[in-house]
Amino acid sequence: MPKRQAMKQSKETPGQLTDRLLGQRVRARRMELKISQTELGARCGGVTFQQIQKYEKGINRIGSTRLMQIAQALDCSVYVFLGESKDGPSRFCDFLATKDGVDIMNAMLKLQQPQRRAVIELARKLT
């Protein structure tokens, strides 16, 4: 078994879960604003896109000063990223942090309520 797969199958510590959830929230906000990892890094004073990627995946821990820079760069409060979750990242949060998740949310927000309900009913019928 490759080392990478073995690492994913191991239990995450509470700190690792928190780092991953925080990273997912940063990614979701960045994607909502349609900002690349490179652009976010530039707005944070020259952080590389690789470092932003590691933050978003929860590989590297985001320090408090860096989190404040990221929040400012993404035009939001740090509290957007610090919501509490007892169970760690959910499947919902995982999905929303993807390009498809952001695309669906943006498309749904453009629809009126009756159209949204119709799309939801269609999706339910397809599953």
pLDDT digits (tens, 9 = 90+) for 5-15: 444 555 888 88
35, two tokens: 């900002």
Closest CA to 20 of 75, 97, 76, 100: 97
Query: Do residues 44 and 70 lie in contact, with contact meaning Cβ atoms separated by under 8 Å?
Result: yes
CATH of range 3-126; options 3.30.9.10, 3.40.50.300, 1.10.260.40, 2.70.98.60: 1.10.260.40
Q: For residue range 64-122, what is the model confidence (pLDDT) as tens digits? A: 999 999 999 999 888 888 875 555 556 777 788 888 998 999 999 999 999 999 999 99
> Could you give the residue ranges of the DSSP H alpha helices within the chain?
3-9, 14-32, 37-43, 49-57, 64-73, 91-96, 99-110, 113-126
Domain ranges of the chain: 3-126
What pLDDT, on the 0 to 100 scale, is given for residue 84?
A: 58
70, two tokens: 């990221």
